A and B are shown apart, each in its own frame.
Chain A
Amino acid sequence: MNRTALYDSHIDLGAKMVEFGGYEMPIQYSNLKQEALAVRNNVGMFDVSHMGEFFVKGKDAAKFVDHLLTNDFLGAAELKAVYSPLCRENGTVVDDLIAYKISNEFVMICVNASNMQKDWDWIQSKQNGFDVDITNRSEDYSLIALQGPKSYEVLKSIDPELSDIDYYSLQIKEDGNLPLIYARTGYTGEDGFEIFASHQQIMALWSKLLSADVTPCGLGSRDVLRLEVGYPLYGQEINDELTPLDAGLKWTVKMDKADFIGKEALSELKAKFVNLKLVLDKGIPRTGYEVVDSEDNIMGEITSGSMSVVLGKGVAMARMNKEKYNSKSDLYINIRGRKYKAEKHKGPFVMGGHK
């Protein structure tokens, strides 16, 4: 199994390690709740070096990436980032990712670890006719996600050259073969930075952040944090069988932009599912639990569920089958054969404080 450059530090910090996307990753250090609350109220950091990074360079770099993505990438300014699904011709989602426009001739794509090889094969197979050179730099980059309201303050104290860039913007620190990238992005809903740099640079930064009392946080708290703000996770809310419309990501499909892979299918297809956010007064919803009506008819299933550390209640995202779901029905979650009442929730469960 692969290890990130920060593996030894995780072990020193007493992290509980699990396999994720082919890597041994910290699921939690000492206390998941304290880790999550550190991010909401102060500052925490995650080793997410398992994620994949591809470089797309060349005259057609931005144009090629725009062709791959359902969201508008050509329209983004230089030093901006864009979240988007990557779709097949039939509209199903290969992965969801963030594309970073370092310049019109240099784009970095950051993908989910568990989909890295699939994405790499897919993107390579689509480059004919574009003047681009694509390289897989996943082995070269380490990645820290620094998240929480004090992220800027603490990172600025370590690197005085850091700029107070906007949300979904970038600052390129060293324009070498492997640029150091500060991106004001993240997966927690809070302000923060994702920092892409060489293994050596990341190990040094991680130590400095630890010395600055930044709380190391595991993937367990990361999953609760992203669920609280309603962000989807590939493999749960999104998968190979679903289109962005099925997964509640219609806002990322820009039908008015030039041709892109999947456009024709997505212009004709209708969503097969309705995506809901649910809150329970009692009981904790978990992935795979059935959502039923008062007569026990199965209308959908939980795609992600947990106890919210902020609300102290069970929260979930649910995928409801459009043919079976009646929006007027009372909703219950079947938890080990008992029915627990669920209420629909509009918007994120927790309002993150990002810019």
Chain B
Amino acid sequence: MSNIPENLFYTEDHEWILIEDDVATIGITDFAQSSLGDIVFVELPEAETSFDEGDSFGVVESIKSVSDLYTPLSGSIVEKNEEVEETPEKLNEDAFGSWLVKLKMSDSSQAEKLLNAESYKAFCENNA
């Protein structure tokens, strides 16, 4: 099983979330990049765009596939990682070091539904 940092939260869509005060930094997990294969295109939202929990906020594309990115939290975008848009292969090289967006949460109670590292690890093992 790929590494799963303890300090992050996770979703069943294979995203990781770092919570710092009311800002959530969102990325995709090592499991996600590995199942996608070579990531060749990333499209992320501009700052100040608002999303509701469950909305698609962007896409990652491999050579043959297009996958939506879904936000597990409502809020508005503070910043997107332009470096990942410019060099999508960074997601393959270091998924946990390549964040996608920072989102200012409008309802931080939603974070309680996120998986911790242990639960996410169990989820991956059951769905491998």
> Which residues of A are at the interface with B, using a C-beta cutoff of 8 A?
28, 31-33, 220, 223-224, 283-284, 286, 306-307, 309, 312, 336, 338
Contacts and interface: CB of A to CB of B under 8 A. Distances in A.
B66 A224 contact: no
B41 A31 contact: no
Interface residues of B, number: 11
Contacts of B38: 31-33
A223 B64 contact: yes
A284 B37 contact: no
A307 B59 contact: no
Contacts of A224: 63-64
A310 B43 CA distance: 22
B40 interface: yes
B52 interface: no
B41 A32 contact: no
A32 B37 contact: yes
B37 A33 contact: yes
A220 B41 contact: no
B61 interface: yes
B28 to A, nearest CB: 18
| Minimum-distance CB pairs A-B, first 9 | A307-B40, A307-B63, A33-B38, A220-B64, A284-B41, A284-B61, A32-B63, A32-B37, A306-B63
Contacts of B41: 283-284, 307
Given A336-B43, A336-B59, A306 B64 contact: yes
Contacts of B62: 32
5 contacts: A28-B37, A33-B37, A220-B63, A286-B66, A306-B64
Contacts of A283: 41
Contacts of A312: 40
Contacts of A28: 37
Given A31-B37, A32-B38, A33-B38, A309 B63 contact: yes
Contacts of B63: 32-33, 220, 224, 306-307, 309
- Residue from B37, B59, B64, B66 with most neighbouring chain A CB atoms (10 Å): B64
B88 to A, nearest CB: 10
Nearest to A313: B40
Nearest to B56: A336
A1 B43 CA distance: 37
A312 B88 CA distance: 12
B103 to A, nearest CB: 20
Nearest to A220: B64
B61 to A, nearest CB: 5
Contacts of A338: 43
Task: Please indicate which of the listed interface residues A220, A284, A336 has the most CB atoms of chain B within 10 Å of its own CB.
Answer: A284
Interface string B51-92: 000000001011110100000000000000000000000000
A28 B43 CA distance: 25
A284 B40 CA distance: 9
Nearest to A282: B41
Contacts of B59: 336
